[in-house]
Structure 1
Amino acid sequence: MIKELIIPEELEHMELLGTQVDSTRKGASIVILGEHLHDDNKRPPTIRVFTANMDAEKKVFEIDIELDSYSFFKTEDALDFAGKLPHMSALELILYLN
């Protein structure tokens, strides 16, 4: 779990849905943000996945690179996906998206 995360100004309109520390790289984590989740169907609800790296000097995580984004027809489906994503295998992810 990330204790402190700096979200860039251009991403502040998004909702933080989850974080997962990367067990394969020290000081790295995954951040899951939701966009247009409460947009009254004007724009599709979207889940965006980013990497975040530890700034050793500041002792905080900073969002670095967007890995992928996933759009859905319904907010419920987007939130369900975001909740399951940290526990999915690569195969489960492929099956879920197809």
Structure 2
Amino acid sequence: MLTLTSGAVQVIRTVTANPELPPETGIRIASGVNGSQALTLSVAPAPEAGDQIVEEGGARVYLEAGAAELLADKTLDAQVDAQGDVAFTIAEGPIADV
């Protein structure tokens, strides 16, 4: 199952903390079309039917079935740069959380 670093948890919680959004809002990761391994990431108000749910420290990630398969043994990390832009990265296996 996809694991989340503390950085990813913090960024996801910040991105989904808008009080105008439903409380179950999370980040949804979906696999590309036509067998592509490209992934899309979006803010979602709730999981879609068939999504796998990863929840850690108040952060929710909804994984479309194809994405869940691709990310089963991966780790999601996130960082915010000096301009406030968010970058999500995926690493093979668990990574050291510093």
> TM-score with structure 2 length normalisation?
0.31
Larger relative contact order (CA 8 Å, sep ≥ 6): 2
Q: Could you say which structure has the higher helix fraction?
A: 1
